[in-house]
A = this chain, B = another copy of it.
Amino acid sequence: MDATKEVSVTDLKRPREEDDNSTVAVASMETDNSAPAVNGEQTKEPACFSSVIPGWFSEMSPMWPGEAHSLKVEKVLFQGKSDYQDVIVFQSATYGKVLVLDGVIQLTERDECAYQEMITHLPLSSIPNPKKVLVIGGGDGGVLREVARHASVEQIDMCEIDKMVVDVSKQFFPDVAIGFEDPRVNLVIGDGVAYLKNAAEGSYDAVIVDSSDPIGPAKELFEKPFFQSVARALRPGGVVCTQAESLWLHMDIIEDIVSNCREIFKGSVNYAWTSVPTYPSGVIGFMLCSTEGPDVDFKHPVNPIDDSSSKSYGPLKFYNAEIHSAAFCLPSFAKKVIESKAN
């Protein structure tokens, strides 16, 4: 099947009707370049490759109208269409291998450390002795790799909707997918929303939601019923960390998430952010919340990572205790909006 004919960023559902999507039209109108051989045969390139500079990948989306980040492509390693999304892996000139879902960069070998380490250790280093952890999404395995560094953890459940992401990551990103090799991991391929509804009440110490943007298969992971299921599945004083977009680009989405979380999580509700060069605007944020029960002070980590984890996974590249606390310091324009939702 020549799946690439189906690939178009214009297929994405748009979360905000007021956004200008003319940039996407530009991207998808000029798809007629010849393409490199994939699996030995000549195929058409996906729209996001050929529309900008020949031989480059360009990331355009109605989520960030009027701008595009482009990476030079050395070789397309994989392109396919799963039941949920378009999946591309390419070797870039300067960022290592790159995983792209529905035209959006999910990880590059050069900067994945920042996202994976922060989304994992911000919650897990904020509570003593996490034992049972649930990961929703995160099919590349990078979050599993980071969870596995915590010696106290006994069980790591993962629910990822798209098996193709897992398979592709195991094939092309062994240093990321190494997380799947940990014997504590139970992988379920399925819908995270349904999984959480069926989870035993109060069963997890921590839930990590490693989702893509709220315009594809991850849409429901940004909505109130999902957060309610998360809160129900957590023990008292349990913690959740969810991917929560960019302060520079998506304050409207973030305001909604913060409002929802303040209603649902009766412990603490915090926003943190970190630098990830290949994400739009160069940053990504996280919502960190705890349920009613023992107090969780996310800004002052109580559970440092055991250095012995370096033996299996190499040393941490990005995360440390100072950068943990610093991640909660917000620019004034964002602080004002997020704190106003506190009341």
Contact = CB atoms under 8 A, between A and B. Distances in A.
A36 to B, nearest CB: 16
A322 B329 contact: yes
B331 A323 contact: yes
A70 B56 CA distance: 13
A229 interface: no
A173 to B, nearest CB: 19
A284 to B, nearest CB: 10
Interface in A252-281: 273, 275-277, 279, 281
A315 B331 CA distance: 12
Contact of A318 (B56, B277, B333): B333
Contacts of A3: none
A327 B331 CA distance: 11
A317 B329 contact: no
The interface size bin for chain A is: 35 or more
Interface stretch (A38-46, A88-96, A134-142, A143-151): A88-96
A128 interface: no
A114 interface: yes
A245 to B, nearest CB: 13
A249 B282 CA distance: 13
A317 B249 CA distance: 15
Contacts of A66: 71-72, 92-95
A52 interface: yes
A330 interface: yes
Interface of A: 20, 23, 26-27, 51-56, 58, 64-72, 92-95, 110-111, 113-114, 248-249, 273, 275-277, 279, 281-283, 315-320, 322-323, 325-327, 329-333, 335
21 contacts: A20-B94, A51-B53, A52-B70, A53-B58, A65-B72, A66-B72, A66-B95, A67-B71, A68-B69, A68-B70, A111-B248, A248-B275, A248-B277, A276-B282, A281-B282, A282-B282, A317-B331, A318-B333, A323-B331, A325-B329, A326-B326
Given A281-B282, A319-B331, A326-B329, 13 more contacts: A20-B93, A20-B94, A26-B53, A56-B68, A65-B94, A67-B69, A67-B70, A69-B70, A273-B275, A277-B281, A282-B283, A315-B332, A317-B332
